[in-house]
Structure 1
Amino acid sequence: MLVLLRISIGWHFYSEGVEKRDAGNWSAAPFFANAKGPLAGEFRKMVWDADGALRLNKQANLHYWAVFRDQVGAHYGFDDAQKRQAQVNYAKAVEQYDWVIDENAAELEEYELGRDRIATLETQGREKTLRDGVTSLGGQRDTIRKEWTSKASSALKQIDEIWEGYEIAQNAVATSEQSEGRPMFKMAKPRTARVDTSVVDGIIPYFDIAVGLCLLFGLFTPVAALAAAGFLGSVFLSQYPPSTGPQSSNYQLIESMACLVLAGTGAGRFAGLDFFLHLIIRKFWHAPDPDA
């Protein structure tokens, strides 16, 4: 039964990791942004540019676009004509950005005015405690936050599209000879926190794959199972208290407990590579019997 449990959880992690990797645009941002419970604030901080401060800062956008323009030119070895085209793409992105800001000016003004109110809801201890202590008031705080974020959602989505289009346009300047044998040059997102989704999104798919393979083959099972339990436990805490239905985080809690069972029983030694690993360890590091 332990072998079946280990293989089932291993396959779940492996398949999830492959799906996220192959999707190309998978992100943990929506999950973190909708976190609730006592740790909700910490999870929301992990969303890249969660409050849009960077994307709504024109000078910051111009700086990163200019840096990328020069980097992509150096990557492919642009000639003078291509550098001029890269500058045209840059100017077009700036023009599009200005248009988005103008079109959403009223909503963005309300959004900026609401920053202080949201900061009060999240950081002012007395009000936060009061609202968290009464279910209806806690829900009211979430409603206020959702209404506030909706003010800038359209503009931020359009700015994201400008970033994506700019990246594609600059790479398209390269000729087939220049791009042959070179991967598409990606525009790295500047971190807005020590660890945010710009980092996490690249780690989680391969974390899932690695944990899944270790559990499937029964290799380093205690370490892999503990890592899986910690990951699933964090998922549960991010959605505490859990709701009912298919989206309930109780499933993650149950699987997390199952991973602890795998770690505590050394399940990899049963029909797994840990069996051979333990044989090697016992052969070379087992202390000889002094009475022998």
Structure 2
Amino acid sequence: MAHHPEHTTPIAPRRAVYLPTGLVIALVVLRLATGWHFYREGTKKLAYNADTGVTTIAFSAEPFLRQSVGPVAEIVKEEMPAAYNWERYLAVPRQARPTTEEELDKRAKWEADYAARRKAAAAKKQPLPIEFPPHSPYYDWADRIERSWRTAHDRFVIIPALTDDQRAAAAEALDFRRQQLADYLESQADAIAEWEHELFRLEELKKDSGAVSLPFLGTRIEEKAAETKSKTGAWISQVKAIEAAYLDDLRHIVDEEQLSEAATAAALDEALTDESAKKLSNINMAVTAVIIGSGVLLMLGLFTRVACIAAAGFLLSVIASQPPWVPGSLNPVFYYQLVEIAALAVLFAAAAGQYAGLDYFIRLFTGKCCGRKESV
């Protein structure tokens, strides 16, 4: 019986897909325009010093991040440097009302106990306890500041080159500045309480604006909000000044001979650098790198899809920090972000870097990296 070979269906050769010339030109123009916009916005965040020849990042994301609203706003603000999230811990709307007998008793008991403990410590020639009144309008903010200063102290005293006397001096410096902070805030207690009452009135005004639509009410709310916000400037400035003096105290504890050692100098800088400031610096660098890098890659048509993802991710983070549906958002509409995200989606889907871009050569040599294989 003769053997007949199995019949097989011939495989058609893979055919290249050709796009209309006008569509290719449009994709290239869109890629170049989007890339140029990202590149230009990124380079605006840099500053070049002609004298030193050094380029630095002259941009800070802090003002924008401080205005964040929505689910992650508190997490973001908690990581911001310097002002210790005063928006959360100090700007608390509280209605001014008569103090109850129970509250008066609690305050009197705390004050008597605090005075007795300070007197006992003084008699024993021990450091005086320094505390903030738990009933004060600034208590939460002061506690947040003190914890940060203690962290700086704890990082400072573990520097290996320090002597016991220098560590004792660091403890004295912390106590001195804590007392200075406590005295200052106590002197401002009535003003802070009055300010927090004004915040309460502002909240009530906003509620009224939602129930009654009056033309002048919106303007009145804006004026009141600006007025209440401006009052924090002096308190924040004074706290920053006390903190700067405290950090300067710690720096002067280390002598010149110790600072001549590179390891000690580096450890000192590390100890006195605010962790929040480090995080903010890293954010500034990352944002600048993503914007400039995405723009360059898009213009070159190199790793276009990666650039599209990075650029779209950045734009989405901007939208997420100011979601238009959250009350108080400064971004009631998406403005250009949504348009650019749509443009990046088109460039991603079309793998636009293979048209007049370097992705063409990557696809040519790899056969798979940035292009899509046509199915048979």
TM-score normalised over the length of structure 1: 0.68
Pick aligned residue for 2:275 from 175, 179, 188:
188
Answer yes or no: is 1:222 the counterpart of 2:308.
yes
Aligned match of 1:248: none
Instruction: Please list the CA deviations of residues 15-55 of structure 1 after superposition, one character each: whole Å capped at 9, or x if unmatched.
Output: 2454597348x3523x45668xxxx6779755441436269
Counterpart CA distance in 1 for 2:224 and 2:370 is: 63
Counterpart CA distance in 1 for 2:353 and 2:86 is: 41
The CA RMSD over aligned residues, in Å, is: 4.1
Answer yes or no: is 1:53 the counterpart of 2:96.
no
Pick aligned residue for 1:97 from 181, 189, 192:
181
1:134-213 matches, within 5 Å, as: 134-174=214-254, 175-176=258-259, 177=261, 178-182=263-267, 183-185=269-271, 186-189=273-276, 202-213=282-293
Aligned match of 1:14: 42
Structure 1 or 2, whichever has the larger Rg, is 2
Pick aligned residue for 1:64 from 144, 148, 162:
148
How big is the shift at 1:2? 2.9
Q: What SS is found at the alignment partner of 1:51? A: helix
Pick aligned residue for 2:62 from 9, 17, 28:
28
Counterpart CA distance in 1 for 2:369 and 2:285 is: 36
Equivalent pair of 1:215/1:224 in contact (CA under 8 Å): no
Aligned match of 2:5: none
With over 3 angstroms needed to count, the CA separation of the structure-2 counterparts of 1:54 and 1:137, relative to structure 1, is closer
Answer yes or no: is 1:260 the counterpart of 2:347.
no
Aligned match of 2:211: 130
With over 3 angstroms needed to count, the CA separation of the structure-2 counterparts of 1:61 and 1:225, relative to structure 1, is closer
How big is the shift at 1:212? 2.0
Unaligned runs of 5+ residues in structure 1 are 190-196, 243-251
How big is the shift at 1:86? 1.2
Name whichever of 224-233 and 214-223 sits farther off: 224-233
Aligned match of 1:247: none
How big is the shift at 1:94? 1.6
Counterpart CA distance in 2 for 1:41 and 1:138 is: 22
Counterpart CA distance in 2 for 1:288 and 1:241 is: 43
How big is the shift at 1:239? 2.8
With over 3 angstroms needed to count, the CA separation of the structure-2 counterparts of 1:181 and 1:102, relative to structure 1, is closer
With over 3 angstroms needed to count, the CA separation of the structure-2 counterparts of 1:201 and 1:262, relative to structure 1, is same
Equivalent pair of 2:57/2:284 in contact (CA under 8 Å): no
Q: What SS is found at the alignment partner of 1:223? A: helix
Counterpart CA distance in 2 for 1:270 and 1:165 is: 59
Counterpart CA distance in 2 for 1:155 and 1:210 is: 36
Kindly provide the amino acid, as one letter, of the partner of residue 95 in structure 1. Q
Counterpart CA distance in 1 for 2:369 and 2:61 is: 46
With over 3 angstroms needed to count, the CA separation of the structure-2 counterparts of 1:117 and 1:22, relative to structure 1, is same
Instruction: Please list the CA deviations of residues 52-104 of structure 1 after superposition, one character each: whole Å capped at 9, or x if unmatched.
Output: 62693334433332232012221455221221221232123223313432453
With over 3 angstroms needed to count, the CA separation of the structure-2 counterparts of 1:285 and 1:166, relative to structure 1, is same
Unaligned runs of 5+ residues in structure 2 are 1-28, 48-54, 79-84, 92-137
How big is the shift at 1:113? 2.8
Counterpart CA distance in 1 for 2:178 and 2:205 is: 35
Equivalent pair of 2:362/2:370 in contact (CA under 8 Å): no
With over 3 angstroms needed to count, the CA separation of the structure-2 counterparts of 1:241 and 1:284, relative to structure 1, is closer
Q: What SS is found at the alignment partner of 1:184? A: helix
TM-score normalised over the length of structure 2: 0.55
Kindly provide the amino acid, as one letter, of the partner of residue 263 in structure 1. A
With over 3 angstroms needed to count, the CA separation of the structure-2 counterparts of 1:258 and 1:203, relative to structure 1, is same
Q: How many pairs are equivalent?
A: 264
Answer yes or no: is 1:2 the counterpart of 2:2.
no
Equivalent pair of 2:323/2:331 in contact (CA under 8 Å): yes
How big is the shift at 1:227? 2.2
